[in-house]
Amino acid sequence: MKKYYFRKCDVCNKGMSKGIYAEGSGSEYFCSEDCIKKDWDNTTFYISHDKGFLTYSMFIKWLEDTDNLTPEKDNVYEWFNGCAEWYLGDQWDVVFDINGIGYDVDKVLEEEIIEGDE
């Protein structure tokens, strides 16, 4: 049985129904921490006037720091959503196979679609 997924990774193009979602200048989807690191390793993120720019590794450490519950952290979550899962109940026009090739959702069998929690 062929399997279909709701999104594809922006780095490796692999189909996925669970991954990492970030919304900056556009929506970005990553299937794994490895793929987000490949794409964002040389990127820095502006956090605030007192934190300045952080590398991706520093950024993740800052997000995970339980002592760092600040309003600026809330602002970051407006664009960096971390792990996301996608399901049939949402509106979909296209689904993707494991290689990232898109298919019209109406042309595949529902039981072939992998949801986020599977």
Q: Are strands 44-48 and 52-55 parallel, antiparallel or unpaired?
A: antiparallel
Percent of the chain clearing pLDDT 90 (strictly above): 36
Structure tokens at 88: 């049939």
Average pLDDT of the chain is: 82
Contact present, 15 and 97 (Cβ < 8 Å): yes
Could you give the CA distance from residue 11 to residue 104 in angstroms, rounded to a whole number?
22
Per residue in 44-87, pLDDT (tens digit) is: 777 666 667 777 777 777 777 756 566 666 666 556 667 788 88
Q: How confident is the model at residue 40 (pLDDT cuts 50, 70, 90)?
A: confident
Contact present, 115 and 85 (Cβ < 8 Å): yes
